[in-house]
Amino acid sequence: MIISKTDTILFTGDSITDAGRRRPVGEDAKDWLGKGYVKDIASMMMAWEPEHQRRIQNTGIAGNTVLDLHQRWQEDVLDLHPDWLSVMVGINDCSRSFHRPLVTEGLVSPDTYRVTLRELVATTRASLKGMVLMTPFYLNSSFQDPLRSALQKYAEAIRELAEEYDCVLVDTQAVFDKALQHVHASRLSDDSIHPKPAGHMILAKAWLNAVDFQWQPSVEG
């Protein structure tokens, strides 16, 4: 695994990361990390590597766009001094133009999304051991769905930034698309945005695979 067993890992983003976590900072205790993929990642680390001393934190906030993340970056990211930072944001940036088409306040275009996120990554990456960027996703298997189609521009920005700044990429849409070949989207989400427990577990497994988590114990001797 590319993350040391004593590193601090901070997760931030929107409601998918928030998942009911404790304020002001969710920590690895009880349900303080929330009930989503961040908790699942911490749980699997503990189950497979009980000797690890990693500190897991969560500052995701439901409803956030990249502009909201920009406003709280100092307090909810930089001031916490993580070794590793994982970011997933974008579904609210894209979906609001579909769900609230007459409300123009708070809309975030793909260009604004890309520029804002690049600023955050560029000003933070050098201070970290590593950064994980997760693409936004939409749990609908139809490639003709207009929201899913529009979301690809936001996901492409993530892919570009991950390559440009040497970040670990988690292509969540690709991972979910594999699952959707076998199960209906309703098994993973009620609204195509917020995962059910199995959906969060898929995210957690994809994240751990991306950072080269060792699912098999090393052979000694």
Going through the chain in order, the beta strands assigned E by DSSP cover: 8-13, 26-27, 55-58, 84-88, 130-134, 168-170
Clarify whether 189 is annotated catalytic: no
CA distances from 186 to 37, 44, 118, 195 (A): 18, 25, 34, 9
Exactly one of 14, 95, 194, 200 is catalytic; name it: 194
Clarify whether 191 is annotated catalytic: yes
Exactly one of 15, 86, 189, 192 is catalytic; name it: 15
Clarify whether 149 is annotated catalytic: no
Identify the H or E element spanning 177: helix 172-180
As a whole number of angstroms, the longest Cα–Cα distance in the chain is: 66
Residues near 14 by beta carbon (within 8 Å), at least 6 away in sequence:
60, 61, 62, 63, 64, 65, 88, 89, 90, 91, 92
- Could you give the angle at which helices 110-124 and 66-76 cross, rounded to 10 degrees? 20
Exactly one of 79, 166, 184, 191 is catalytic; name it: 191
Catalytic residues: 15, 191, 194
